[in-house]
Amino acid sequence: MKYEIVSYDVWGNDEEGYHVNNVMPTGKLICTDASKASLCDRLGLDDPYKIEVDATNEGVIYVDYDGKPYCELREVA
């Protein structure tokens, strides 16, 4: 599938938690599936054990990395 990377402006810390303050479409497109290995490779991340993936919403993959919201991927036609 082809997705646009949507970047996050994240606020917070390890103690109080993190939340997404703003989302920003990047215009960058990638082809991937929802597997941790594929997402790490396509997003340039180094450790698939630090990635959490939520692909429960159709057409959107939410990615957390190292305990923080990282980005979302929105399916494009």
pLDDT bin (cut points 50, 70, 90) of residue 73 is very high
CB crowding 30-48: b at 16 or more within 10 Å, else e: eebeeebeebbeebebeee
Of 48, 41, 43, the closest CA to residue 26 belongs to 43
Q: Name the residue type at position 60.
A: V
pLDDT, tens digit (0-9, with 9 covering 90-100), for 17-36: 999 999 999 999 999 999 99
- Distance between the two ends of the chain, CA-based, in angstroms? 9
CA atoms within 13 A on the CB side of 61: 23
Q: In Å, what is the CA distance from 19 to each residue of 5, 10, 44? A: 18, 6, 22
Specify the pTM: 0.91
pLDDT bin (cut points 50, 70, 90) of residue 77 is confident
